[in-house]
Amino acid sequence: MAQTSARKQGVGSVIWEYLTTVDHKKIAILYLIAGGFFFVLGGIEAMLIRIQLAVPNNDFLSAGLFNEVITMHGTTMIFLAAMPLLFAFMNATVPLQIGARDLAFPFLNSLGVWLFIFGGIFLNLSWFMGGAPDAGWTSYASLSIASPGHGIDFYALGLQISGAGTLITGINFATTIITMRAPGMTYMRMPLMTWTTLVASVLIVFAFPPLTIGIFLLMFDRMFGSNFFIVEAGGNTIIWEHLFWIFGHPEVYILILPAFGIFSEIFATFARKRLFGYSAMVFATVLIGFFGFMVWAHHMFTVGLGPTANAIFAVATMAIAVPTGIKIFNWIATIWGGSIEFTTPMLYALAFIPSFTMGGVTGIMQAAAPADYQYHDSYFIVAHFHYVIVGGVVFALLAGLHYYWPIMFNTMLNETLGKITFWFFFVGFHMTFLIQHFLGLWGMPRRVFTYLDGQGYNAANMISTIGAFLMAIAVIVLVVNIIITLAKNERVGMDPWGDGRTLEWSIPLPVPYYNFAQIPLVRGLDAYWVEKKEGNGKMMPSESLTDFHMPNNSILPVVMSLGLFIAAFGAMYFPDGQEWAIDAVSGLEPKPWALPVLIIGLGITFVSMGIRSWKDDLGYYVTKEEVERDLEELERGGK
Amino acid sequence: MANMEYNVPTERWPAHPETATQEGQNKFVGFWIFLAGETALFASLFATYLALKDSVPSDDHLLAADLFHLPLAFVMTMLLLTSSLTSVYAVYHMRNNNFQKMQLWLGITVLLGAAFLALEIYEFVEYTGLGHTFRSSAFGSAFYFLIGTHGFHVIVGLIWATLLILRNAKRGLSVYTAAKVNTFALYWHFIDVVWVFIFTIVYLLGVL
């Protein structure tokens, strides 16, 4: 229900509010907390990997545990850290940027975040319940069918649940951006963050269903006795590779496009210039999204698809360099001649250009199929994708965290500590991964748990590990910064960076729960900047003060997600000890309770869906009087 | 709490009640985007099926040409196509503010869908008796997964439509319930289109 501004709430009611909230601003905070937690978890796994590889013949981790740690590092970082953290910033900014009071489907937004949280918890429970998945984050079927125990099942079921949440969120953002834009907010006036969110959402809609099917094939083979990947029964493991990469390649654009969006906003703000080549940027974003679906087989050059297939996918891959290059040059042209302010977000943005470009260049090297036979499965690949994912996505997440922090928490992160974080992270990142290109070219294979002395890998691996520790220090400084900022709680006013250009900076902080007292009228690209230049300093309303409609809170999303979480345990233990099951689990003790648990869990979810469909949920009205009261209070506070 | 007006007089009933509100518009656009995702889902299923068609462990397993009867598949196709038409009638009467007829045609849609489902279950039982099961071969797994996913969509649609008929019986027609009925109709057409592809790619190509 509607709550009034500064009322003090008990802990219980705050928790209940967050469990039931459908407010995009609170859901953004949920994504940030859960995604941040998994980011730290994935980071710890990365440190374990680097400690193990620091010296030759190390036995810090056993070979089996090393496989589990690399699998969980990759899976956690992609599905549970990078994507949710981007969703945090999309939720925090996109409705504000287009002048909307919430997303198109606030209920589904809540369902999306809870599916992700329950899926992530399920995946990580594997550590305590008999061992984590160990077939790599790509979980190729030839490995994953043979993997004993339930590790792979945690991977399949956990990703199935959180993947459903991602798909729902993608549909939600695409719809929101199409239908909920304020008057005057034409497509070609949308901020780049909104544009990249739209394209990434469309990619989610088309990329996640193939993953869903791939994981279903894996689930059915491992849990229900089917034969999709069982070669003796006519199965074919290459189907997994295709389905996985039909998802997997667009996935990296799902990650990088919103990162491009965040950087585009930061460049324009802190160079105090309009983004150079806005239309070309939009065009390039759409083109990258389109090409993203044409290139999946470049992950499979060594499978043996034949020279024709390899040549087509090689050329398509190289073509992506064109729109990406357009973007790089436009960013450089944006800061060219600008009056640059070196804030923490801007430092990340400036560091992003060369770092990401290096990752892009090695990508083009690998696009040459014959050369890829040499790079394949070596540390060169590891270095490449960490340059694009860390140098692109993680830099954007850290930049976005500092940049959008005032909108989410109404305070500012400390700039000095922020810059210390940046320098440790920047130096540590290049130290960790630059040398890995050479390790790969010298022949060190990826995904091996140790190496022999005297192969020339010792010094390079030690350098890489020291770099990883520098990144860990950076993250610790960041956590300290966050704690200090939250403890001090020094409120900032409207437009705290002083140079906000887009609508999200034009509203008072803390943002009212209804976002806009009156939906603004957008008169150009960088709507708020336009009004600043015209001397108004604030947005013109597109409507008179009136009652408006807001959605109700609901606990059903948590219940639906919990139902799937319970059902996953039933599905996982169902094949134990059955004669039709694969060798990996047929020797385990039978679990007669598994089927009832599966049915009860699914029942909870479907009954909740039925309740949702049956009951009227018409929301409530915020009255004109309440909004007027808020506006008066704001006026008084402002003077 | 917001109020919703039911049984609106026809002169104030909008031409497109399902998209007359912002929520209705969102639902309409959002559901089309969802169907785009469903298209990718079924495309992946078709690709898997084609890759594993007739892929069996030994010569004594039945292949597509041994199994499928076109007459049965034809009857099923006709039932489902007709149910798509009857759901169009339901939407037509919804737009004309004729609640009783809308309910009636939705009910007929459910009956036709249920008849389709009964024939599909009969077909599955028959194939299982012949030794073609989900676990007998990769071909079996792929066949039952593709047809079964479609069948699951039909079941969901039948439950959905039944719930809508029952819940709306007490309420009547409003722009809120109209959006719900229209969304179901979109879903039902989609299932129908998928079946057209199944008929062509699985049954027709299977026996040719």
In chain A, the N- to C-terminal Cα span, in Å, equals: 30
- Report which DSSP code applies to A496: T
Q: Chain B partners of A232 at a C-beta cutoff of 8 Å? A: 57
Q: Chain B partners of A621 at a C-beta cutoff of 8 Å? A: 2
CB A575 within 8 A of CB A223: yes
Q: Which of B51, B57, B180 sits opposite A239 (nearest CB)?
A: B51
Name residue A621's beta-bridge partners: A549
**In this predicted structure, what is the pLDDT of residue A549?**
87
CB B192 within 8 A of CB B83: yes
Tens-digit pLDDT profile for residues A489-538 = 999 988 999 899 999 999 988 899 999 989 999 999 999 999 999 887 88
Residue A639 has pLDDT above 60, yes or no: no
pTM of the model: 0.95
Residue A56 has pLDDT above 70, yes or no: yes
The two three-digit tokens of residue A581, written as one number: 């099951």
Q: How far apart are CA A197 and CA A204, in angstroms?
A: 10
B40, A209: Cβ pair inside 8 Å? yes
B163, A243: Cβ pair inside 8 Å? no
CB B157 within 8 A of CB B184: yes
Q: Which of B29, B48, B135 sits opposite A217 (nearest CB)?
A: B48
Q: Chain A partners of B170 at a C-beta cutoff of 8 Å? A: none
Of B19, B21, B33, B170, which to mutate for an interface test with A (greatest number of A Cβ within 10 Å)? B33
Burial class of A416 by CB neighbour count within 10 A (0 to 12, 13 to 18, 19+): exposed
DSSP reduced 3-state for A481? helix
What is the nearest CA distance from B91 to chain A, expressed in angstroms? 18
Lowest mean pLDDT segment, chosen from A252-256, A634-638, B74-78, B132-136: A634-638
What is the nearest CA distance from A422 to chain B, expressed in angstroms? 39
A225, B135: Cβ pair inside 8 Å? yes
Confidence of residue A415 (pLDDT cuts 50, 70, 90): very high
Tens-digit pLDDT profile for residues A87-120 = 999 999 999 999 999 999 999 999 999 999 999 9
B29, A175: Cβ pair inside 8 Å? yes
**Alpha carbon of A337 to those of A271, A273, A331: distances in Å?**
8, 9, 12
Q: Chain B partners of A289 at a C-beta cutoff of 8 Å? A: none
B163, A610: Cβ pair inside 8 Å? yes
**In this predicted structure, what is the pLDDT of residue B2?**
58
Tens-digit pLDDT profile for residues A586-634 = 889 999 999 999 999 999 999 999 999 988 888 888 888 888 888 888 8
- Report which DSSP code applies to A515: S
For A549, phi then psi, to 5°, come to -100, 135
Q: Which of A131, A119, A136, A267 is nearest to A191 (CA)?
A: A267
**In this predicted structure, what is the pLDDT of residue A630?**
86
Q: How far apart are CA A166 and CA A119, in angstroms?
A: 11
What is the nearest CA distance from A493 to chain B, expressed in angstroms? 32
**In this predicted structure, what is the pLDDT of residue A638?**
57
Q: Which of A576, A578, A518, A587 is nearest to A546 (CA)?
A: A518
Residue A59 has pLDDT above 60, yes or no: yes
**In this predicted structure, what is the pLDDT of residue A7?**
54
Alpha carbon A28 to chain centroid, angstroms: 12
**Alpha carbon of B17 to those of A617, B8, B190: distances in Å?**
18, 11, 21
Q: Chain B partners of A178 at a C-beta cutoff of 8 Å? A: 29
A619, B2: Cβ pair inside 8 Å? yes
Q: How far apart are CA A190 and CA A522, in angstroms?
A: 10
Q: Which of B40, B138, B171 sits opposite A228 (nearest CB)?
A: B138
**In this predicted structure, what is the pLDDT of residue A71?**
96
Residue B46 has pLDDT above 70, yes or no: yes
- Domains, chain B, ranges and CATH? 19-55+62-207 (1.20.120.80)
Using a CB–CB cutoff of 8 Å, tell me whether B157 touches chain A: no
Q: Which of A167, A234, A580 sits opposite B37 (nearest CB)?
A: A167
Instruction: Provide DSSP, A7-67.
Output: ----HHHHHHHHHH---HHHHHHHHHHHHHHHHHHHHHHHHHHHHHHSSTT--SS-HHHHH
**In this predicted structure, what is the pLDDT of residue A8?**
60
**Alpha carbon of A107 to those of A83, A116, B178: distances in Å?**
20, 14, 20
Q: Chain B partners of A549 at a C-beta cutoff of 8 Å? A: 2, 22
**In this predicted structure, what is the pLDDT of residue A624?**
87
- Domains, chain A, ranges and CATH? 11-638 (1.20.210.10)
Tens-digit pLDDT profile for residues B129-174 = 999 999 999 999 999 999 999 999 999 999 999 999 999 998 889 9
Q: What ipTM does the predicted assembly reach?
A: 0.95
A151-166 exposure pattern, b = at least 16 Cβ within 10 A, e = fewer: bbbbbbbbbbbbbbbb
Q: Which residue of B has its CA nearest to A1?
A: B1
- Report which DSSP code applies to A389: I
**In this predicted structure, what is the pLDDT of residue A1?**
40
**In this predicted structure, what is the pLDDT of residue B6?**
85
Cβ-Cβ contacts under 8 Å for A420 (sequence gap 6 or more): A474, A477
Q: Which of A80, B73, A392 is nearest to B64 (CA)?
A: B73
B38, A233: Cβ pair inside 8 Å? no
The two three-digit tokens of residue A511, written as one number: 């943002």
CB A618 within 8 A of CB B1: yes
A213, B44: Cβ pair inside 8 Å? yes
Cβ-Cβ contacts under 8 Å for A117 (sequence gap 6 or more): A30, A34, A561
The alpha-carbon radius of gyration of chain A (Å, integer) is 25
**Alpha carbon of A427 to those of A420, A423, A431, B80: distances in Å?**
11, 6, 6, 63
Alpha carbon A98 to chain centroid, angstroms: 21
Average pLDDT over residues A572-586: 92
A205, B140: Cβ pair inside 8 Å? no
Query: Alpha-carbon torsion A156, A159, A162, A165, what sign?
Result: negative
Q: How far apart are CA B170 and CA B159, in angstroms?
A: 18
B26, A180: Cβ pair inside 8 Å? yes
3-state SS, A318-373, equals HHCHHHHHHHHHHHHHHHCCCCCCCCHHHHHHHHHHHHHHHHHHHHHHHHCHHHHH
**In this predicted structure, what is the pLDDT of residue A51?**
97
Alpha helices in A574-593 (DSSP H): 583-586
Residue A23 has pLDDT above 70, yes or no: yes
Using a CB–CB cutoff of 8 Å, tell me whether B48 touches chain A: yes
pLDDT above 90 as % of chain A = 87
Using a CB–CB cutoff of 8 Å, tell me whether B197 touches chain A: no
**In this predicted structure, what is the pLDDT of residue A4?**
45
B1, A620: Cβ pair inside 8 Å? yes
Q: Which of B25, B44, B140 sits opposite A210 (nearest CB)?
A: B44
Using a CB–CB cutoff of 8 Å, tell me whether B131 touches chain A: no
Q: Which of B176, B207, B167 is nearest to B72 (CA)?
A: B207
Confidence of residue B45 (pLDDT cuts 50, 70, 90): very high
Q: Which of B191, B119, B199, B189 is nearest to B150 (CA)?
A: B191
Of A227, A242, A623, which to mutate for an interface test with B (greatest number of B Cβ within 10 Å)? A227
pLDDT, averaged across chain B: 93
Residue B1 has pLDDT above 80, yes or no: no
